[in-house]
A and B are shown apart, each in its own frame.
Chain A
Amino acid sequence: MHKSVTVNKEGTSDVDLAKCRAILSKYNRSTPSDLIPILQQIQDAYGYVPQTALSEITAGTRIPLSKIYGVVTFYSQFSLVPRGKHTIKVCTGTACHIKGATDIKKKLTEALQIHEGETTKDFKFTYEPVACVGTCFLAPVMMIDNRYYGKLTADKAEATLKNY
């Protein structure tokens, strides 16, 4: 899924824009409300929103780059830097909070050797806390990609990473 992104030594990316153009081609008579769906598909296709894709969107939709940048930076779903193959979302909702989400966050930070919102060096995991994933009855919870892991302990959370 993320093979088209190769990160060189300087940390910048050589991005194959074919997928971006294919997405944009579906919107050749786009309205402003298509911007977020376009960005969501690009985020899905590349795992992040490459800077070069932003220029393509501007050209394709005639929405000013400044506006697009504003939208990308407003919503937590979008990332301007490459993300890991898997996204770990640790729920920090109320129920998870009072049932020990803090311990899980601490353990994952140690296990992955990264801070919240960062990506591991091998681009395997991006780790981020989220407000609530809506499974409070299973608290504490984390999601890896679209899979839920409930009734966690810090150790169980760490062990789960080995499945990936």
Chain B
Amino acid sequence: MKHLKSPEDLHKLRKSLESKHRPDKVRILICTTGCRALGAEEVYKAFKAEIAKQSLADKVEIVDTGCQGLCARAPVLTIEPMGIFYGRVLETDVPDIIAKTVLKGEIIERLCYAEAGKRTPYIKDVPFYNKQKKIVLRNCGSINPKSIEEYILRDGYAAISKALSTMTPDIVVAEMKNSGLRGRGGAGFPTGNKWEFVKNATGDIKYLICNGDEGDPGAFMDRAVLEGDPHSVLEGMLIGAYAIGARKGIIYVRAEYPIAVEHLTIAIEQAKQLGLLGENILGSKFSFDVDIKMGAGAFVCGEETALIASIEGKRGMPRPRPPFPATSGLWGKPTNINNVETLANVPIVILQGSEYYKSIGTGSSKGTKIFALAGNVKNTGLVEVPMGTTLREIVFDIGGGIPGKKQFKAAQMGGPSGGCVPAQHLDLPIDYETVKEVGAIMGSGGLIVMDDTASMVEIARYFMEFCQDESCGKCVPCRVGTKRMLDILTRITEGKGEKEDLGLLKELAEVTKTASLCGLGQTAANPVLSTIRYYLNEYEALINKKDAQAAPAQSAQLPQSAK
């Protein structure tokens, strides 16, 4: 590939790719990331073989993509340009799809999305998709993430090109501030302000870190973005680095995400070959390089100071702030840390403008949010909706509601740092503030739906077990507090709880929340406090009955979910 030496070179490359693009060619897009677990790779290979066998390479191509969202129907595929959506595709369906759908335009009923007996062959009619707004997931599932050309064809790297040729770093920061984009990792700190702090910090070297240590159980949006559209994250990093004056970037990815690491490695290599990473990017004075660091299995490393310690080769333990990483981060240098989803938003803000971005969302929370919809809901998968969408719309309109004859009981939002939102708040428009008011947090966007058979005390115990296990042990309130709270919760779920336990639990929760060093301890009690707030009767029932039978084991009472 030719080194791009100017924004014009990039533009020319896009034009030449466009001229080679064949819109008449049928593209079969198949997810080979998440869907891999249900045989998508075998289906992909079967398509390759069938296309070769019938010598159809000129008419049809099979494209392996990232997540297409509706994971409940894995393996899924979309056939373009018709826009046909098929799910639960087996290797044995491949000859049929080629012979009927691709060559004759016929619909294969059995593979279509169905709701209430009605089959919906076209993706535009599937309620799961047509209620979403895809900004971050704009390319996810519709391009081959291992091809930089496909990204460029969809205006990829046009935002960094625009920033380098028409915007000063100050203007980029101002644009980000005006957009209202807030950190998608959980805390919701305004991204533009963070960039400004680092930009204004004194230091000869500055770093930009992409936090891909998505550790919240129940969250998988960063995984999907890294796997399905890694270049959008790299482009977001480039823009951030240009704005703050960093020339070295690090992507910290969980070791549990091998496909994300593979796709990122390919993306970085391709960007280097085109000169989109390296020295004098697009002929400017701006130079930037990116390295991947793999996590080694520690939830607390999602906390920014712990993450920095881990990159420095130490035990991943947090330290008190201030100083904030913006002034003293990696190796003591000013460091900017943004989450994957945040960075994937950045090219859109720059390319479409902050006014466009601001037009989406609510007063305090702009843009969209990706939720990882899982648990007792029909359409499990990834959904991206504008901020301000109600929980009801997500769970029922997009998610298709609760399987079986069960009722919605609660949605757990924000993982082990979050809380349970009960049915009475289903019509709450979701943004950073409203979610907090009802006792949960936006967090990274994990949304686990629970039906009326779920025991809320057990859920609280489950999250406490997680936090206790992941507590790094550095500060006493978290180390001891989580342990003691877990003891009490275990006691209550086993039917051995005492009346005094509830008061003790609340007291411990308050102390752990107030006195812990980092976010892990400060939020560890949230699931306890939120379940006590809404489901005090369940705690009391267990304590009063003193009977373990009151709370049958989780697994025994849960239905087999959407199949």
Asked if A136 is at the interface (CB within 8 A of a chain B CB), the reply is yes
Within 8 Å CB of B481, what residues of A? none
Please name the residue on chain B nearest to A61 by beta carbon.
B313
Asked if B140 is at the interface (CB within 8 A of a chain A CB), the reply is no
**A-B Cβ contacts below 8 A, count:** 157
Within 8 Å CB of A143, what residues of B? 256
Within the complex, the shortest CB–CB distance from A115 to chain B, in Å, comes to 16
Contact B216 A76 (CB under 8 A): no
Alpha-carbon gap, A138 to B33, bound state (A): 12
Residue from the list A78, A130, A150 in contact with B37, Cβ < 8 A: A150
A12-20, A96-104, A118-126 - interface stretch = A96-104
Alpha-carbon gap, A78 to B71, bound state (A): 32
Please name the residue on chain B nearest to A145 by beta carbon.
B258
B167-175, B279-287, B368-376 - interface stretch = B368-376
Within the complex, the shortest CB–CB distance from B554 to chain A, in Å, comes to 6
Pick the most buried of A70, A75, A98: most chain B CB atoms within 10 A of its CB. A98
Contact B255 A77 (CB under 8 A): yes
Interface size on B, residues (CB 8 A): 62
Please name the residue on chain B nearest to A143 by beta carbon.
B256
Report A44-88 CB contacts with B as 1/0, cut-off 8 Å: 000000000000000000010001001100111110000000000
Contact B72 A132 (CB under 8 A): no
Within the complex, the shortest CB–CB distance from B394 to chain A, in Å, comes to 14
Please name the residue on chain B nearest to A154 by beta carbon.
B555
Within 8 Å CB of B296, what residues of A? 36, 39-40, 75-78
Contact B34 A94 (CB under 8 A): no
Please name the residue on chain B nearest to A104 by beta carbon.
B555
Asked if B299 is at the interface (CB within 8 A of a chain A CB), the reply is yes
Within the complex, the shortest CB–CB distance from A108 to chain B, in Å, comes to 14
What band does the interface of chain A fall in when counting residues whose beta carbon is under 8 Å from B? 35 or more
Within the complex, the shortest CB–CB distance from A148 to chain B, in Å, comes to 3
Within 8 Å CB of A150, what residues of B? 37-38, 74
Contact A134 B314 (CB under 8 A): no
Within the complex, the shortest CB–CB distance from B139 to chain A, in Å, comes to 19
Q: Contacts A40-B296, A150-B74 known; A71 to B313 CB distance under 8 Å?
A: yes
Contact A135 B215 (CB under 8 A): no
Residues of A within 8 A of B (CB): 31-37, 39-40, 63, 67, 70-71, 74-78, 89, 92-95, 97-103, 130-139, 141, 143, 146-151
Of the A-B pairs whose beta carbons lie under 8 Å apart in the complex, a sample of 26, sorted by A's number, is: A32-B312, A32-B314, A33-B313, A36-B296, A67-B314, A74-B316, A75-B316, A76-B298, A94-B374, A94-B459, A94-B462, A97-B554, A98-B450, A98-B459, A100-B554, A103-B555, A131-B299, A132-B215, A132-B217, A132-B256, A134-B220, A134-B256, A136-B219, A138-B38, A150-B37, A150-B74
Q: A77-B295, A135-B220 known; 10 other A-B pairs, CB under 8 Å?
A: A33-B313, A70-B315, A89-B256, A94-B374, A134-B223, A138-B74, A139-B375, A139-B561, A143-B256, A150-B74
